[in-house]
Structure 1
Amino acid sequence: MLSNIAESVRLRPFAGSAADYAALAAIANAAFPDSHETAEEIQHWDAIRPAHCVIARWLAEVGETVVAAAEYFHAAWMYHPRKFFISIAVLPEWQGRGIGSYCYDELMRELADRHQPLQVRSNCREDQARSVRFLTDRGFREEMRTWESRLDLRAFDPAPFADGLARAVGQGFTICNLNEWLARLPDARQRLYEAMIEMRADVPQPEPFTPVDMATWERTVFDDPHLYPEGYFLALDGDEIAAVSQLWKHAEPDVLMTGITATRRHYRRRGLALALKVHALNFAKAAGYREVRTYNATTNRAMLSINEALGFVKQPAWIEFVKDVG
């Protein structure tokens, strides 16, 4: 319930101004302290969103103060014209006053009027009890979970995994970074795109994977401010990409994020994922980074087993919820 705030909350369309992007980043970072988003990063992702993917966003104000943000959007990686993600974030000091409920009702009304959705999805971390209750009270059901895991590089000892790395090299595979790959062949970007689309299709998610076109993929990768070519590694069979393990920069300067570690289907069961992961961690440790973080679906037992063996420590899981509304 909104009590006395009901008359003073105003939900207005997101204007796309520098001030609105700054307010959006501030709300995201306050509601999710580990996110470290910047206004520039949000603008970047908005700019490269495929044209067929809808997004609508609002800011909630009380007086002159922006207190919450709400949006619905298509997910480019599993696009369906009538299936949407929603996100509502309220500044912590304004939570518990019905503002999130107000934003949800208005957002869902707008979504229904414009797009007649079949399903909506949202997510939150399992230790965010208020958010879990908010979604379940509104008919959302749990669909899947994803663990964030973190590795303290200062305590990481690569010695026990040296044989795994040597095994990959002994099979004739070579390892290079992204810059070295791009300088290797005139069609290096096209080959990388095709390999990544194939591997990305096997990442667990609740809906079928929908690939983006190459131009959109190039902007997603090469215009990303967190791209770290020296930490983006490929296992090669001659000039054929066999596997990948990416490290990306993070807002915290001594932390790196794992983008994806994956092996192409016809190269699996040859130890490449472990070998590349160890190679990447050796690189990060030698470069002086403190920590590497990664995300894996709880159903991805193969990758979880590798991370557990390497010493990654699981954090509270992210829960993806879904609601049938059609």
Structure 2
Amino acid sequence: MFEIRESDGTSTSYAAMSNILMAVAPNNPVSGDDLANEDLSLGESHPGYRWLTWSGDTPAGFFAGAEETWDRSPGRFRVYAAVDPRWQGQGAGRELWNHCLSALLDKYEVTELACETRSDQERGIRFLQDRGFVLKKSAHESELEVIGYDLTEPLRRRRGLLAQGIEFLSVAELSTDDPAWFEKYHKLRMEFQADMMYPPTPLTLEEHWAEHQSNREFDPSMTLVAVRDGEWMAYTALRQSGADPTLWWTSLTGVGRAHRRLGLASALKTTAIEAVQQRGGSRIRTDNDARNPMFKINQAFGFRLLPDIQNWRRPLRGEADIREVLR
């Protein structure tokens, strides 16, 4: 009934996968370009594989698998499967999962699987639980409507920082006159990433530059920096959704250790809202661990909670684990 083929990596295949994701989770827009950029960001040393399952000439589902890059854990693979609701309940997901995961296990030394769902995806959660996955962590996703948002009070607070000689400028502006801009960007990012709840493996300057060169989502005009006398103190980065140009995602917001508790994160959030409004955007989305100070800041700005992003893990220690995960 279903035919499974490895993706040919064309824009048509990526568009088919994004259509499936939109059918599964219509409130989480994603484009084919978004998925292609995600694969490109893996780099040559972290290959990604995608398969499509077909019902006749119609794509019915897809599977994605890639070595985890966040903390460079050897043997940990991030996997994901989605089936168009029209074919759910017909065995398409199980067939796709078993076929593609078996191919992955045959090719690589896989010691652990990681998979994301959202807290409202009951079918996906049951699928993972039935295969021995355990919930590792959750992140609160939230959204702010920026059309008509009143910035009077936030702008008043930001003026207090401006009076202290702190400017809020984009990387596009800063990089024009500062040849050392990337070194400053790198130093600041590595500093506040090290303080995350689940810190990634630090990158060298050269590794970060190589990653940056392949990052098509980086927008220098929407990467906003708090700077004083040439010193980068904090920044926030936004990217535009490829599927919905009115939606902007906050990729990362952080403040250098020496400059915390000055109100810089809130001032950057104000600057981001202002920038999105000027771009004609309607919404900003972000996600945070509940223990992250940015979560409370976003709540104070009026961000509305959406279903949580859940990260599930499944160790593979031997044949018994593999049999269970391929049930």
Instruction: State the TM-score bracket (shorter-chain normalisation).
Output: 0.7 to 0.9
CA distance change for structure 1 residues 64 and 284 in 2, over 3 Å: closer, same or farther? closer
CA distance change for structure 1 residues 308 and 18 in 2, over 3 Å: closer, same or farther? closer
Displacement of 1:255 after TM fit? Answer: 2.6
**Could you tell me whether the CA contact under 8 Å between 1:76 and 1:210 is conserved in 2?**
no
Which of residues 161, 174, 181 is equivalent to 2:174?
181
Q: Which residue of 1 aligns with 2:284?
A: 292
**Could you tell me whether the CA contact under 8 Å between 1:70 and 1:89 is conserved in 2?**
yes
Identical columns (%): 26
1:26-45 alignment runs, 5 A limit: 26-45=19-38
Greater shift, 279-288 or 125-134, is seen at 279-288
Q: Which residue of 1 aligns with 2:137?
A: 144
Deviations 1:54-86 (A, max 9, x none): 322211123333211112111322222200111
Q: What is the SS of the residue equivalent to 2:70?
A: helix
TM-score by length of 1: 0.88
What code does the residue aligned with 1:216 have? A
Q: Which residue of 1 aligns with 2:302?
A: 311
Which of residues 51, 71, 94 is equivalent to 2:64?
71
**Could you tell me whether the CA contact under 8 Å between 1:77 and 1:210 is conserved in 2?**
no
Q: What is the SS of the residue equivalent to 1:81?
A: coil
C-alpha separation in 2, matches of 1:14 and 1:287: 35
Displacement of 1:322 after TM fit? Answer: 0.7
CA distance change for structure 1 residues 47 and 319 in 2, over 3 Å: closer, same or farther? closer
The number of residues matched between the two structures is: 314
C-alpha separation in 1, matches of 2:89 and 2:203: 39
Alpha carbon RMSD of aligned pairs, Å?
Answer: 2.2
Deviations 1:98-157 (A, max 9, x none): 111122222332233222322111011111111111111111111111122111223532
Displacement of 1:286 after TM fit? Answer: 4.6
C-alpha separation in 1, matches of 2:285 and 2:122: 24
Which of residues 242, 247, 253 is equivalent to 2:233?
242
Does residue 92 (structure 1) correspond to residue 92 (structure 2)? The answer is: no
CA distance change for structure 1 residues 118 and 274 in 2, over 3 Å: closer, same or farther? same
Q: Which residue of 1 aligns with 2:110?
A: 117
C-alpha separation in 1, matches of 2:246 and 2:64: 32
Could you tell me which runs of 5 or more consecutive residues in structure 2 were left unpaired when the two chains were aligned.
318-327
Greater shift, 316-325 or 249-258, is seen at 249-258
Displacement of 1:258 after TM fit? Answer: 1.5
What code does the residue aligned with 1:154 have? I
**Could you tell me whether the CA contact under 8 Å between 2:11 and 2:33 is conserved in 1?**
no
What code does the residue aligned with 1:297 have? D
What code does the residue aligned with 1:233 have? L
Q: What is the SS of the residue equivalent to 2:250?
A: strand
C-alpha separation in 1, matches of 2:255 and 2:20: 37
What code does the residue aligned with 1:271 have? G
CA distance change for structure 1 residues 255 and 58 in 2, over 3 Å: closer, same or farther? closer
C-alpha separation in 1, matches of 2:245 and 2:36: 21
Could you tell me which runs of 5 or more consecutive residues in structure 1 were left unpaired when the two chains were aligned.
1-7
1:5-84 alignment runs, 5 A limit: 8-84=1-77
**Could you tell me whether the CA contact under 8 Å between 2:145 and 2:283 is conserved in 1?**
yes
Q: What is the SS of the residue equivalent to 1:209?
A: coil
C-alpha separation in 2, matches of 1:65 and 1:255: 29
C-alpha separation in 2, matches of 1:109 and 1:313: 40
Does residue 266 (structure 1) correspond to residue 253 (structure 2)? The answer is: no
Displacement of 1:242 after TM fit? Answer: 0.7
C-alpha separation in 1, matches of 2:214 and 2:189: 12
**Could you tell me whether the CA contact under 8 Å between 1:245 and 1:260 is conserved in 2?**
yes
Deviations 1:277-307 (A, max 9, x none): 112223333554322221112332x111101
**Could you tell me whether the CA contact under 8 Å between 2:193 and 2:200 is conserved in 1?**
no
Q: Which residue of 2 aligns with 1:129?
A: 122
Q: What is the SS of the residue equivalent to 2:191?
A: helix
What code does the residue aligned with 1:242 have? M
TM-score by length of 2: 0.88
